[in-house]
Structure 1
């Protein structure tokens, strides 16, 4: 049995004109005299712990996502745009991907576990195929869709992880986002020159050529009939633009925190990054038209750079607002408690986002028509129940510290 005893003896010593308290500690027979501090050191600015704002912003996005998934009938003005343009539903997954880039920037700012990377990517690919089987044409090998949201997400995770082997700085990730945006813009502008009228259409676009050639026409979105795949290989490049921009913002927030200057130190760099993303969005939309006469429109179906960068700019501003409001040491405890359910949702964003998609798809595809009619007639109640149920699950898992990681 080990017994530890301690005794403190205080004395006062005069140094110059000021008294100084000298503390001597005796422990197990050893006497130590501390160094010469004359005053108590100031507490350093908070540099550790999680950045709450990211989880809360993800939680807000998930409330929207779960609510949208609960809709029996999506209004046409909110439904995915058929081709060009952006509707409300077009923003949900790109916002999720941009926030994922920010979160992966936090997670990988010191090191990247190469060993676990392959396992994560393979798991995401396998679960994505299972998801397609459950919600589309179950277990039909002839028409089983190969691309999908989880497969695209796996591609994003892979690119972000490999990118962190090259750089772990905000400047580096801004450069990666810039290069990816310029490459994808160049590809789209060049492809438009091969299309009738010089415009990207459903009948003439990179996805309509690449994805059926790689996977087979029967194994892509709508059996190849729509003429493109919104989660196919070309779309991965556009999604990586969003994720790389998110990683840039994440590293800017981390850099400001590591300098110990408080949350306000992130204001100027994050606003500068948001302005740069917005400027690049405009340039990637306008310059191809000026140089070649073939414009690259902002659209989700091909995840074009003007679309990806505009979303990243908006997400950066929202994240900064959340950071200033929630990550300060002066943030009221009442406010922290108020946003705790959103934080719980954000901590399990992968589970809630894709889990709510699976549940909603199974209900909408398998429920009897009379059940769907009742759900639609009580749409507000259905949506409220869905949001509360997923929030309760996330809160329980957060209490138990159980999280689903990519």
Structure 2
């Protein structure tokens, strides 16, 4: 846990002596994403049409974590626009990995070290932080990060397209995909997603490469925003970057088909480049809209007050995102004699006008909003 006044250990450039510029729109967009995340976590039963896609394709729930990762890349781009924190990197990564193991045990209620899942969302997140931080030793420009995004996307596309040629029919399946080979070989079946029964790991080593495409896209727009004198100056460049991401998404989908006869599919399970780039383009547009509305000097004071709760949520996005997952998992464990778990009991208790789900979701949003507001007032933030 760090405060906003903590000194940053760094490899610094001369530009590090210039004052920083807080971009409110990033926190507000993160706050909106967290409202969706907390609302999703509060679902007592997830509708099939919204739940994670079984393999190829994308459903609503597949978008939440990738949007979070893309916004993380943007935030790291802001934080490292002038300096790169390397002294604290190892400690933060170790903390994230250790927290990820605990997170897995809490959310699945599995405490046997012989079957602990070594991979997971926090471990993937730690890998993304490593890549983005080290990438800032190479470049701190929007153009440079667009190149990094392109290189990562092309690399992952090449791996997927090549591996598909080794599969029956030239198609990536649960039974034939690179994650099912690499992640199981590195960690062992008992220590990955569904103990290897799923045939892949959506938060394994190879999925981390796809997540880095999303984060690098976020870093691109982050550096682009900070390199411009104001929101209006960002309009055309951001739209050009979005067009570039869309073109890359099309290229990483169809060029493999021209070369091998099989397109790289749009899917979250393997975090394919077309998926990562389309999410990146959407997040860029949301950030641009927020930047135009909130970060101009003439932004109405009333509007800033209205979005302050979202800003507070966004400033502690790591805590709220993962904390809400853990709390809901704990509430969902151990059904009573009547078959209801603690979450269902709380929902029935707070139900207003016969709507337990809606009432429970509103309660969850209010609780996490209050926690974020108190921490924001005290300038206490949990950082990656």
The answer to whether structure 1 residue 353 and structure 2 residue 321 are counterparts is yes
C-alpha offsets along residues 29-72 of structure 1, whole Å, 9 cap, x if unaligned? Answer: xxxxxxxxxxxxxxxxxx85310000000000000000000001
Matches within 5 A, 1:175-324: 175-256=147-228, 260=229, 262-324=230-292
Q: CA deviation at 1:373?
A: 4.6
C-alpha offsets along residues 347-372 of structure 1, whole Å, 9 cap, x if unaligned? Answer: 00000000001111111123433245
Question: Quick one: distance in 2 between partners of 1:248 and 1:362?
Answer: 37
Matches within 5 A, 1:105-144: 105-144=77-116
What residue is the counterpart of 1:90 in the other structure?
Answer: 62
What residue is the counterpart of 1:32 in the other structure?
Answer: none
Question: Quick one: distance in 1 between partners of 2:24 and 2:317?
Answer: 13
What residue is the counterpart of 1:151 in the other structure?
Answer: 123
Question: Quick one: distance in 1 between partners of 2:141 and 2:115?
Answer: 43
Change (3 A) 1:234 1:96: same
Question: Quick one: distance in 1 between partners of 2:156 and 2:340?
Answer: 46
Q: Which moved more, 1:137-146 or 1:121-130?
A: 137-146
The one of 382, 395, 401 aligned to 2:360:
382
The answer to whether structure 1 residue 76 and structure 2 residue 48 are counterparts is yes
C-alpha offsets along residues 365-394 of structure 1, whole Å, 9 cap, x if unaligned? Answer: 234332455437611101010011100100
Given that residues 137 and 143 in structure 1 are in contact (C-alpha distance below 8 angstroms), is that contact kept between their aligned partners in structure 2? no
Q: Which has the higher contact order (CA 8 A, sep 6+)?
A: 2
Aligned length: 356
Q: CA deviation at 1:137?
A: 4.2
C-alpha offsets along residues 167-216 of structure 1, whole Å, 9 cap, x if unaligned? Answer: 00001100000000000000000000011111000000011111110000
Q: CA deviation at 1:130?
A: 0.8
Larger radius of gyration: 1
C-alpha offsets along residues 279-324 of structure 1, whole Å, 9 cap, x if unaligned? Answer: 1111111110111112110100000000000000010011000000
Output the TM-score relative to the length of structure 1: 0.86
**Matched position secondary structure for 1:366:** coil
Structure 1 consecutive aligned stretches of length 4 or more whose deviation exceeds 4 Å: none
Could you tell me which runs of 5 or more consecutive residues in structure 2 were left unpaired when the two chains were aligned. Answer: 1-18, 349-354
**Matched position secondary structure for 1:296:** coil
Given that residues 107 and 325 in structure 2 are in contact (C-alpha distance below 8 angstroms), is that contact kept between their aligned partners in structure 1? no
What residue is the counterpart of 1:403 in the other structure?
Answer: 381
Could you tell me which runs of 5 or more consecutive residues in structure 1 were left unpaired when the two chains were aligned. Answer: 1-46
